[in-house]
Amino acid sequence: MPQADLYFTTDNDFSRAETLAAIEDLVRAFDAGAGVCKGRAHPVAEFHHSHIFLRLSLLPKPHRDAEYAAELGRRLAALLRPRAAAEGAVAVNVSFDLLHYTAA
Domains and CATH numbers, the chain: 3-95 (3.30.429.10)
Q: How high is the pLDDT of residue 99?
A: 65
CA distance 34 to 24: 9
**Cβ-Cβ contacts under 8 Å for 77 (sequence gap 6 or more):** 90, 91, 92
Q: What is the pTM of this model?
A: 0.91
The answer to whether residues 43 and 60 touch, using CB atoms and an 8 Å cutoff, is: no
CA distance 22 to 99: 26
Tens-digit pLDDT profile for residues 80-100: 999 999 887 999 999 998 666
Q: How high is the pLDDT of residue 65?
A: 95
Tens-digit pLDDT profile for residues 30-79: 999 999 999 999 999 999 999 999 999 998 999 999 999 999 999 999 99
